Structure 1
Amino acid sequence: MGWLAIALAIVAGLALLLRWRRPAWYWMTFGVLFAAIRIRVRYATVMDACHLTVPASRFRLAMARTFGREIPRQRVPRLLRLSPTRTGLRLRIKMLPGQDAFVFSAAADRLRHSFAVHQVITREAKPGIVEITMTGYDVLKRVQMPARVACDGLKVALALREDGRIHCRDYRETPHSLTLGATQSGKSVYQRRVIKELAALPIALVGIDCKNGVELAPMARRFSALADNPDDAMEMLEALVDRMEGIYEIIRREQRVSADTPHAEITADIWGLPEHLRPIPVLLTVDEVAELALYSGKAQEKRRDRIITALVRLAQLGRAAGVFLDIYGQRFGSELGDGITMLRAQLTGRTAHRVNDESSARMAFGDISPYAVFAATQIPNDRRGMAVVGYSTGDWFRIRTPHTTLRQAVNACNRHADLTPDLPELARFRPRIPTAAAPVPATAEPVAEAV
């Protein structure tokens, strides 16, 4: 018995050490087993305590009264499946008549306390089935991205979601996005992560950085065009609009719409063109949109109007021509002048890091979800890189970007500098690269973690 007690004490000490230092390892070794047993044992009791049961059917009540039997108990929704994941558990529950997914969503906080897990997220998997994702530990405290993430096309893995899944950005599905965040909120780290992941893809990067290029200039080897002041930005945007119009002429010429043309050969965007005619996609990154919208005189006001007009045209018409927008800023409200709200309405993807006031969060999520607005204002100062992502469907979730240093982003851009395409329309904005540069190591980088 003495040796058994010592062994149990060692195992308990190891479990506590893992829970403190390596929560992911603790979850995979001990936590998932304890949580599964706890859910199986407490399931019926928790469902009743959280008011997720329904009365027995009229037929059963009538039969009980007819034969003088005991009144049937409340009916508990059936647990169809309990699946362990890398960061938690996933439950599939068959809802009873009269229940909906909103009932389970409203009880998420009570379920979290009852089952002793860190986070509970619910969604309707299909009619009559609700999926509950439980997170066993705080996955956003120390971001650990998987070593391999399956991404294809123009889809990149950017961050880790609070439910343990990977947040990916698919530029073909969400061509334009808006990213807000206060100073020191992690907005620049998010931008570096985007550029670092896109550097290895066949896409042209075009940037506007009116802070004299301090954010984007170090990564200039991977950029086909770069503007570091509002005057150059205006000319570059108008040149990009001209390129977009030229691409539409190519699409119109190659549509070949006739009575004998199969439907599969008719296209209205660049993705249906033959590969040898397909223009390379372009991502336009605007580091601080307020620097393009502010003005102090008549001449600057005219320049500002031309810039906003070009941005609106690119946002409205750019998707089919393979032009994508990533716009960053601290605020994006109507105080920036005419056309700003029209531009914001075209930006489907919304990401908000820590903001200093509620109105800034409403600029991003006011037309999506009031709960997302509240979540964006609750991000603590010590969680740099944490953000809220929302979509026009009303869905939203918390994410955190792994810490990406400027050196890591520069190394990725230098390593894939040979993929930088030449855009004739933007040739005069091609950044000047010094001839002498330090060699870039070809060794793989370690998985980055958020601090």
Structure 2
Amino acid sequence: MRGTLVLISLALVVAGVVLLRSKRPAWYWMTFGALVALVRIAFTYNSVMEACGLTVPPSRLRLMLARMARREVPPDRPPRLLRTRVTRTGLVLRLGLRPGQDAFDVAASTDRLRHSFRAYGVTSRELRAGVVELRMTGYDVLKRVQMPAKTERDVMRVPVALRDDGSIQYRDYRQIPHALNLGATQSGKSVYQRNLVKELAPQRVALVGIDCKQAVELAPLARRFSALADNPDDAVLLLEALVGRMVSTFHVIRREQRISADIPDAEITADIWGLPDKLRPVPVVVVIDEVAELALWANTMEKKRRDRIITALVRLAQLGRAAGIYLEVCGQRFGSELGDGITMLRAQLTGRTSHRVNDEASAKMAFGDISPDAVLSVQAISAERPGTAIVGDYSGGWYRTRTPHTTLRQAVTTCNDTAYLTPDLPELAAFRPVLPPLTPAGPPSLIKPRPRPVTE
């Protein structure tokens, strides 16, 4: 009887673990998976490294000492395991390379290490000379995206997605001022754009939108926008007004440089971030939805308008960073077939994000000049996982990410709550959305609401 109860209890425990692994993989990892992975690495590390070709022969000194002591020849040595850290999504191993080993050898063996350690994914990066970090993912973190409760936010730096290695993908405008976001219909591109606006809304930043689909994507968020254009005719005037603001900001920077022998180097600046707080203009993020609509033309008048738009965009992309004007260009295709100046504009868009696309040419538009491997990864994105994207930059590195699902209601609520932060820009006053006052959802409250803190 007692044996039967033990078997039933054991069966229930096993069934519970299997159910936990399928329904709540993060909980399973933190309770059972991490311990199993640590034990597996402790017992198989040397043999796995040898099987993956990541060992080096013993040094001549060790061979000489072995011969003098008439001992067996020392075995090949794997990289030193400097540190092991458990995260909520996997393990982080820090390896110390032996003389003769290279970080590229570890990167080339990540797929073999994934199979050997039975991990879901393995990525590597070089921290410094002789030290490599391996990130091992314990489960599919992109299947059900859950952003950490605490994320690092800074001025013009916001979290936008989760990487496949469990780390957070940030959009840092001060490091990568302009970006291109491609994606087919229903690929998750609009959700990425919506989530980006939601994260930027609590910051001290002016949002400018251009949405030639009569602003159906950006109009619900208009209370947080300092300017909004819903057709190409308004877009050209808005972009030229931004160019005028950029020139005025350059005059402010030039006036405040005060270059002389008695001015410390730290006080001389060439952009708005070196200005005193009271003189620093508000940074501007320009969100352009369906950029192809700005480049299409059917007659001579539309062609002249198109040339003015592309000229203004190229100027903003080349010079806008110092004036605190940043471009977020979104579209389904963005190639040379859109006419003159498009290739020049694309070269200025350093950050690249591509969701699922319909053809290989669209993937090459995003990553053909960055990484051929990223092009293949874009083509492998499944339609069953909207929001999945490949993110790359000028360095040639790329990551697979997925945006957390943000409903339009969540984004609208955040924009309405932070509407008091919307700055008034005199140059763009003609394009400020005119909206009726918000109506309260219920009876008026007797408690005075406290304003949300501004993220500097």
Displacement, 1:126?
1.2
Q: Does residue 132 of structure 1 match 2:138?
A: no
TM-score (norm 2): 0.94
Match of 1:230 among 229, 232, 236: 232
After superposition, residues 358-437 of structure 1 pair within 5 angstroms as 358-435=360-437, 437=439
Matched positions, count: 442
Distance in 2, matches of 1:138 and 1:240, equals 43
Match of 1:281 among 271, 280, 283: 283
Partner of 1:186: 188
After superposition, residues 350-361 of structure 1 pair within 5 angstroms as 350-361=352-363
Displacement, 1:94?
1.2
SS in 2 for 1:271: helix
SS in 2 for 1:332: coil
Runs of 5+ consecutive residues of structure 2 not aligned to the other structure: 450-456
Deviations 1:348-374 (A, max 9, x none): 111000111122111111122111111
Displacement, 1:174?
1.2
Q: 1:56 to 1:278 in 2, by over 3 A?
A: same
SS in 1 for 2:242: helix
Deviations 1:385-425 (A, max 9, x none): 00010011111111100111111111111111111111111
RMSD of Structure 2 on Structure 1 (CA): 1.7
Distance in 1, matches of 2:264 and 2:245, equals 29
Partner of 2:249: 247
SS in 1 for 2:31: helix
Partner of 2:324: 322
Partner of 1:141: 143
Partner of 2:25: 23
Match of 2:38 among 36, 40, 64: 36
Deviations 1:22-76 (A, max 9, x none): 0000000000000000111111111111111112223444555666643332222
Deviations 1:167-210 (A, max 9, x none): 11111111111000111100000000000111111100000000
Displacement, 1:10?
3.2
Distance in 2, matches of 1:411 and 1:163, equals 31
After superposition, residues 6-155 of structure 1 pair within 5 angstroms as 6-62=8-64, 64=66, 69-155=71-157
Distance in 1, matches of 2:253 and 2:65, equals 70
Deviations 1:96-150 (A, max 9, x none): 1211111111111111111111000011111111111000000000001112212
Match of 1:221 among 194, 218, 223: 223
Distance in 2, matches of 1:144 and 1:319, equals 32
Distance in 1, matches of 2:261 and 2:113, equals 60
Distance in 2, matches of 1:233 and 1:10, equals 64
* % same residue: 65
Q: 1:58 to 1:186 in 2, by over 3 A?
A: same
Amino acid at match of 1:146: P
Amino acid at match of 2:94: R
Amino acid at match of 1:52: L
Distance in 2, matches of 1:163 and 1:60, equals 38
Partner of 2:345: 343
Amino acid at match of 2:122: V
Distance in 2, matches of 1:319 and 1:8, equals 62
SS in 2 for 1:124: strand
The ranges of structure 1 where at least 4 consecutive aligned residues each deviate by more than 6 angstroms after the TM superposition are none
Displacement, 1:264?
2.2
Partner of 2:453: none
Amino acid at match of 1:28: M
Deviations 1:234-260 (A, max 9, x none): 000001100110011111111111222
